[in-house]
């Protein structure tokens, strides 16, 4: 039977889940604290860039299965199931900041007028769902398992493929400890059952750790190939042939073996820090993950420094075209994007920067002076210097060719398809210099060199 669902938080995960759950036939109310987000979504316009999202949003709004509101209390009172999909940003010590989750749980408890299932979709450290249980119980006066149930249902969607991933997940993980809640969840995800998606039923702690283990492993795989690429480059080997051959081994798989400027995004950086902090809390030294965090920060630094080296040691008073600002292609998310570190480094070195991204320019403008460098927070002095330099020497361009005008060097930071097919003849005519640093290995080196450019990639 279709359910009445409320989703708290309509960011990447909450919005895609709201739209997807409505498309499964459930009636969904998406709740956000921000009126501007709610108004935009209710008018049928997505607040994030994701392929296919607009169609699904509009279709389900029109069908009357989906609506958005800031009235969390009302939406909770009406619901059978409440998904918590609020943010869990990193706290100053690496631990996940759980204040949004705790606040959402309290609001749920205060508005619990009948049995409901409370589902945590946010990525939360092991033990958090027990804490959600306590908060809801204290705020509602009801007993877990009888008055309400808590389910851990971590989300694995990839930005850029979020809609596709929602409808075709590799697996659905459900930390669920009573049969009534299980029946509710089976109803919610019936459409995925029918297409034989694997379901993993487990306890709350296991579900919580599956999410962190998966993200930490993927971050490790990326960092491993980045370091191997650095070695291949130094030794005169070709990382692409190495990675392809490694991937032919069924135990390894070819995915996540593409070298680049270091991972970024809203998940890997914060989730690796959080699992390392959780390990310390339990007295287990997650030394592999701690080294991954350090090596990834170093990779961002190495990328920026390599560009300066290619430019003869400094980019002072020279012009660099930066193509790609998002942390990866097909998204407008710039959280912890390597582009932030690279542009900061260039500006602090005295360069003029001409930057372009098909979707992420607006988000980048604020992130540039708020984050980094190299994974850390900018201290206020550096923040001021970057902001000042950006005002004088950073131009946001309307397309890749606009960015290339008068550039001494080009760096490709994000693997957007448009950059893979860059018109090199036009680039040569527009650029003053001849340096191309392809930090994603999206161009054909021979082709680039044949046009008279000095080409550098990663690990080849
Ligand atoms: N972004 C991803 O690719 C991704 C993938 C898997 C898991 N996750 C996890 O999902 C969670 C959400 O991530 P996100 O990227 O969607 O976050 P986000 O920051 O984009 O969105 C969170 C939203 O929640 C809203 N919010 C906060 N408190 C609220 C409350 N009490 N009631 C209603 N709305 C509230 C905020 O206004 C914001 O719009 C995080 O734990 C994240 O780690 C994210």
State pLDDT tens for residues 180-215: 999 999 999 999 999 999 999 999 999 999 999 999
Indicate whether residue 226 lines ligand 1 (CB < 6 A): no
User: Among 350, 345, 339, 346, which residue's Cα sits nearest to residue 416?
Assistant: 339
Which DSSP string do the residues of 136-189 spell out, in sequence order?
HHHHH-PPBTTTEEEEE----PPTTSHHHHHHS-S-EEEE--SHHHHHHHHHHT
The pLDDT assigned to 369 comes to: 82
Indicate whether residue 50 lines ligand 1 (CB < 6 A): no
Whether residue 42 has pLDDT greater than 60: yes
Burial class (CB in 10 A: 0-12, 13-18, 19+), 249: exposed
Ligand 1 atom with least separation from CA of 121: 10
Within this chain, domains 4-202 and 303-456 share the same CATH topology:
yes
Is the CB of residue 439 less than 8 Å from the CB of residue 260?
yes
Indicate whether residue 60 lines ligand 1 (CB < 6 A): no
Q: Where are the domains of the chain?
A: 4-202, 303-456
The pLDDT assigned to 254 comes to: 96
Dihedral sign (CA 281, 283, 289, 291): positive
The pLDDT assigned to 124 comes to: 98
Indicate whether residue 159 lines ligand 1 (CB < 6 A): yes
Spatial distance between the Cα atoms of 441 and 362, rounded to a whole number of angstroms: 26
- The more confidently predicted of residues 377 and 90 is 90
Indicate whether residue 37 lines ligand 1 (CB < 6 A): yes
How far, in Å, from the CA of 334 to the mean position of ligand 1? Answer: 15
Is the CB of residue 78 less than 8 Å from the CB of residue 4?
yes
Fold of 303-456: Rossmann fold (3.40.50)
Whether residue 376 has pLDDT greater than 50: no
How far, in Å, from the CA of 350 to the mean position of ligand 1? Answer: 36
pTM value?
0.94
The token duo for 227 is 């370091």
CA-closest residue to ligand 1 atom 19: 87
* Mean predicted confidence (pLDDT) in 415-429: 97
The pLDDT assigned to 383 comes to: 86
Average pLDDT of the chain? 96
CA-closest residue to ligand 1 atom 10: 122
State pLDDT tens for residues 305-347: 999 999 999 999 999 999 999 999 999 999 999 999 999 999 9
CA-closest residue to ligand 1 atom 20: 11
State pLDDT tens for residues 124-167: 999 999 999 999 999 999 999 999 999 999 999 999 999 999 99
Strand partners, 68: 30
State pLDDT tens for residues 268-304: 999 999 999 999 999 999 999 999 999 999 999 999 9
Ligand 1 atom with least separation from CA of 333: 1
How far, in Å, from the CA of 442 to the mean position of ligand 1? Answer: 31
Among 240-244, 374-378, 427-431, the least confident range: 374-378
The pLDDT assigned to 1 comes to: 84
* Mean predicted confidence (pLDDT) in 211-237: 98
Whether residue 373 has pLDDT greater than 60: no
Mark whether 202 is an active-site residue. Answer: no
Fold of 4-202: Rossmann fold (3.40.50)
The pLDDT assigned to 378 comes to: 63
Indicate whether residue 339 lines ligand 1 (CB < 6 A): no
Confidence of residue 371 (pLDDT cuts 50, 70, 90): low
**Side by side, which strands form the sheet with 172-175?**
66-69, 27-31, 4-8, 81-84, 116-120, 148-152, 172-175, 199-202
The token duo for 390 is 């950006």
The token duo for 77 is 């009172």
Helices and strands (H, E) in the chain, number of each type: 20, 14
Indicate whether residue 71 lines ligand 1 (CB < 6 A): no
- The percent of residues in the chain predicted with pLDDT above 70, rounded, is 98
The pLDDT assigned to 370 comes to: 74
- The more confidently predicted of residues 379 and 388 is 388
């Amino acid at each position: 039977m279709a359910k009445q669902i409320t989703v708290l938080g309509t960011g990447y995960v909450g919005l895609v889940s709201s739209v997807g759950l409505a498309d499964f036939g459930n009636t969904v109310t998406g709740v956000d604290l921000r009126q501007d987000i709610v108004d935009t979504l209710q008018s049928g316009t997505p607040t994030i860039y994701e392929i296919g999202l607009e169609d699904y949003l509009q279709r389900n709004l029109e069908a009357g299965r989906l609506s958005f509101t800031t009235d969390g209390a009302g939406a909770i009172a009406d619901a059978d199931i409440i998904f918590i999909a609020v943010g869990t940003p990193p706290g100053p010590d690496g631990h996940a900041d759980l204040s949004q989750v705790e606040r959402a749980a309290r609001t749920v408890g205060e508005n619990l007028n009948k049995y409901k299932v409370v589902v945590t979709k946010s990525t939360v450290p092991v033990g958090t769902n027990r804490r959600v249980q306590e908060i809801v119980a204290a705020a509602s006066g009801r007993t877990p398992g009888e008055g309400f149930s808590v389910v851990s249902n971590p989300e694995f969607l990839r930005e850029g493929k979020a809609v596709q991933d929602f409808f075709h997940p590799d697996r659905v993980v459900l930390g669920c400890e009573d049969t009534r809640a299980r029946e509710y969840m089976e109803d919610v995800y019936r459409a995925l059952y029918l297409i034989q998606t694997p379901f993993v039923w487990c306890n709350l702690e296991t579900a919580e750790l599956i999410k962190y283990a998966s993200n930490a492993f993927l971050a490790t795989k990326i960092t491993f190939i980045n370091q191997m690429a650095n070695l291949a480059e130094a030794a005169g080997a070709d990382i692409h042939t190495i990675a392809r051959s490694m991937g032919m081994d069924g135990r390894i798989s070819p995915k996540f073996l593409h070298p680049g400027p270091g991972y970024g995004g809203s998940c890997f950086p914060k989730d690796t820090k959080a699992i390392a902090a959780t390990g310390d809390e339990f007295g287990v030294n997650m030394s592999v993950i701690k080294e991954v965090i350090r090596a990834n920060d170093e990779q961002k630094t190495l990328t920026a420094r390599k560009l300066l080296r290619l430019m003869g040691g400094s980019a002072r008073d020279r012009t660099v075209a930066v193509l790609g600002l998002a942390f990866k292609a097909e998204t407008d998310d710039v959280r912890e994007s390597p582009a932030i570190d690279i542009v900061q480094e260039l500006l602090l070195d005295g360069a003029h920067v001409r930057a372009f991204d098909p979707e992420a320019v607006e988000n980048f403008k604020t992130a540039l002076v708020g984050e980094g460098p190299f994974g850390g927070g900018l201290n206020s002095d550096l923040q001021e210097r970057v902001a000042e330099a950006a005002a004088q020497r950073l131009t946001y361009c309307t397309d890749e060719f606009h960015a290339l005008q008068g550039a001494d060097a080009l760096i490709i930071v994000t693997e957007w398809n448009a950059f893979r097919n860059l018109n090199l003849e036009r680039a040569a005519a527009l650029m003053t210099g001849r340096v191309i640093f392809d930090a994603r290995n999206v161009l054909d080196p021979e082709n680039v060199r044949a046009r008279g450019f000095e080409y550098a990639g990663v690990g080849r």
